[in-house]
Amino acid sequence: MLNSLLSVVMLRKWFPLKRSFIEFLKRVPPSYVKAVDGISFEIKNKEIFVLAGESGSGKTTTGRLLVKALDPDGGKIIFKGKDITRLKGRELKFFRKEAQMIFQDPYASLNPRFTVLDTLMEPLIVHGIGKSKKERIELIIKALDDVKLPYEDFMHRYPHMLSGGQRQRLAIARALILKPKFIVADEPVSMLDLSIRAEILELMVNLREKYGISYLYITHDLSTARYIGDTLAIMYMGKLVEIGPLKSLLVKPLHPYTKALIEAIPEPDPRNRFKEVNLGLKEFYETKLLVKGCRFFPRCAYAKSICFENEPKLIEVGKNHKVACFFI
């Protein structure tokens, strides 16, 4: 599409499991964790695309693939109409300026030996941005101003001297300073207090409007996604099970797994907190080694024999709304 910034076509990333010595001698074929297994979607210009699911569903692996922190085993990544799946060398370095990542843990994603000034100066030096130190400092002041951290107060501070919210603001400033068009935000507020979460989410939305940034917002908490997202994709065991406009999908989910995730959102109204919640999930010890059928069938209360034998395709059931289920 003309309005598409990034498109993913049948993207795949499998991680091999280590074999025992006996299995190696017997030439037992290797098994794989199918972290990302043939997913397709697109992110439009200035769109916040929410990728949600439980821990271990493959969300972070997807994000790392899109910023080329990992190489895919199959499929294509199209960015601004160009196939970037196998970029190397100078072309990959140029792409790094266009796509950045905000990591989940602001305590681990910053170098403890770097001051705020050093943290923001490094990407400018690596990419050769700014003709002089004075020009680079001007860019740093602008980036800190965007995230509401005054330069004079913070320039010489180290990460241990910052609060959790301030660290995450610094991480956002580090991503912004290269003026990217696409940012992967990997659960950027999950380790922050509730009051700070709202500030960071509002900041991300304002920066989207100011600089025309598109986000892949990764989360397991749909209660935060509802405030900033445009499109919602639900991921389970390496597969996308439902994609649609976020607001309408939260009101009328179709896939059993999506319904379970929405039922699990905490209820702010005290009058509704004690209502019986039926997630529709069977007890199941999850394994990543299922070889056929629907990935969700061992936990699904509505599963039939067809779910064990065949894998449902992601089909369109409404305007921009796709679901992978035999019983919609």
Residue 249 lies in a domain: no
HSE (side-chain half, CA atoms, 13 Å) at 57: 21
Q: If pLDDT is split at 50, 70 and 90, which confidence band does 145 have?
A: very high
For residue 277, pLDDT over 50 is answered with: no
For residue 315, pLDDT over 60 is answered with: yes
- Give Cβ neighbours of residue 303 (< 8 Å, ≥ 6 apart): 294, 296, 297
Residue 191 lies in a domain: yes
Arithmetic mean of pLDDT, 137-141: 94
Q: If pLDDT is split at 50, 70 and 90, which confidence band does 195 have?
A: confident
288-300 pLDDT tens trace: 455 578 888 888 8
Mean pLDDT computed over every residue of the chain: 88
Residue 313 lies in a domain: no
Report the alpha-carbon distance of residue 195 to residue 102 in Å, rounded.
19
- Give Cβ neighbours of residue 21 (< 8 Å, ≥ 6 apart): none
In contact, 75 and 11? CB cutoff 8 Å: yes
Q: If pLDDT is split at 50, 70 and 90, which confidence band does 267 have?
A: low
Residue 284 lies in a domain: no
The parent domain of residue 102 ranges over 4-242
Residue 42 lies in a domain: yes
> Cα-Cα-Cα-Cα dihedral of 223, 261, 249, 58, to 10°?
90
Cα-based angle 265, 267, 270 (whole degrees, multiple of 5): 165
Report the alpha-carbon distance of residue 166 to residue 191 in Å, rounded.
12
The pLDDT assigned to 76 comes to: 95
Q: Which CATH number fits the domain that encloses residue 88?
A: 3.40.50.300
The per-residue b/e assignment along 145-159, b for 16 or more CB within 10 angstroms, e otherwise, is ebbebebeebbeeeb
Pick the most confident of 45-49, 198-202, 218-222, 281-285: 45-49
The two tokens of residue 236 are 């389970």
pTM of the model: 0.89
> Cα-Cα-Cα-Cα dihedral of 251, 219, 261, 74, to 10°?
100
Arithmetic mean of pLDDT, 121-143: 92
Q: What is the CA radius of gyration of the chain?
A: 21
62-98 pLDDT tens trace: 999 999 999 999 999 999 999 999 888 889 989 999 9
Report the alpha-carbon distance of residue 316 to residue 113 in Å, rounded.
50
Report the alpha-carbon distance of residue 147 to residue 172 in Å, rounded.
7
How would you classify residue 172: left for phi > 0, otherwise alpha for psi between -120 and 50, otherwise beta? alpha
Q: If pLDDT is split at 50, 70 and 90, which confidence band does 221 have?
A: confident
How many folded domains does the chain comprise? 1
Residue 24 lies in a domain: yes
Arithmetic mean of pLDDT, 33-58: 93
Residue 254 lies in a domain: no
For residue 287, pLDDT over 60 is answered with: no
Report the share of the chain in percent with pLDDT over 90.
56
**Dihedral sign (CA 60, 62, 66, 69):** positive
For residue 103, pLDDT over 80 is answered with: yes
Residue 32 lies in a domain: yes
For residue 148, give the nearest of 70, 83, 207, 213 by alpha carbon: 207
